[in-house]
Amino acid sequence: MRYLDLADALRARVAAGSIGPGGALPGELDLAAEYGTSRVTVRRALDLLRQEGLVVSRRGAGWFAAVDPVRQPLGRVTTIEAAVEAAGAVPGRRILSFAFVEAPPAAATALEIERGSEVLRVERLNVADDRPFALVDAYVRADIGADVSRADVERAPFYDLLPLRGVVLSGVHQSITAEVADARVSRLLDTDSGAPLLVSRRTTYDAAGTRILYSEHRSPAERTTLEIEFSLHRGALEHV
């Protein structure tokens, strides 16, 4: 059996719902026996379906039908927890690191502070239905982070915590790029090394225009969709 024929057969099973979103596919050896083909052919077929976004692999666990991606709006500021909850999943957070450190170059530039200045760094793993969804590295100016505890960041995002400390959040600048997962990131996000990631870098300002928070968000590309809506007016339409 050609791998393209096997891909067609597996694609039909996923589309028919006989596997179900997030459901486990039979193992590669089981599929090879079921369809009378080799494991190499099975792997090529599954790799093709992964490129199409229909299946995902989890290290040590096998292959699964892909779930619908979490949709994150870009036209307004929202937390990862809110986006996950809106998608019908249960959000969660795991704090991987909480410490005052010297600001790395990217954080120092974003926060407009001297390189080597002290900042509060919080690295966390956001989960959706107990599955890793996003790896977030956040840096807060030391004078603001001094009033934040590990227990605080374990229970709530900075966008909820900072206003409780009198910080008026005013604006956000966000850029979005892509990169591939290295060994550590792939392990934390339960994806393959070299898998595509969406990377959002976000700088948050207070009411005085001071840059107070810089964060980097990394998510497997197949688990999230970034969306934005535009209002069209006559002038805009004339240039389309």
pLDDT grade, residue 210 (50/70/90)?
very high
- Rounded-to-integer distance, Cα 138 and Cα 118, Å: 13
| Mean pLDDT computed over 140-168 | 93
Q: Tens digit of pLDDT for each residue in 123-151?
A: 999 988 788 889 999 999 999 999 899 99
| Mean pLDDT computed over 201-214 | 95
pLDDT for residue 137: 97
Whether residue 198 has pLDDT greater than 60: yes
- 3-16 and 28-35 helices cross at what angle (nearest 10)? 110
pTM for this model (two decimals): 0.70
For β-strands 91-102 and 118-128, DSSP reports them as antiparallel
pLDDT for residue 68: 61
Burial of residue 35 (number of CB atoms within 10 Å: 0-12, 13-18, 19+): middle
- Rounded-to-integer distance, Cα 92 and Cα 30, Å: 34
Whether residue 110 has pLDDT greater than 60: yes
The full set of domains in the chain, from first to last, is: 3-65 (1.10.10.10), 70-227 (3.40.1410.10)
Say if CB 22 and CB 60 are below 8 A apart: no
Q: Tens digit of pLDDT for each residue in 30-84?
A: 889 989 999 999 889 988 888 777 777 766 668 877 666 566 666 666 777 777 7
pLDDT for residue 50: 80
pLDDT for residue 232: 63
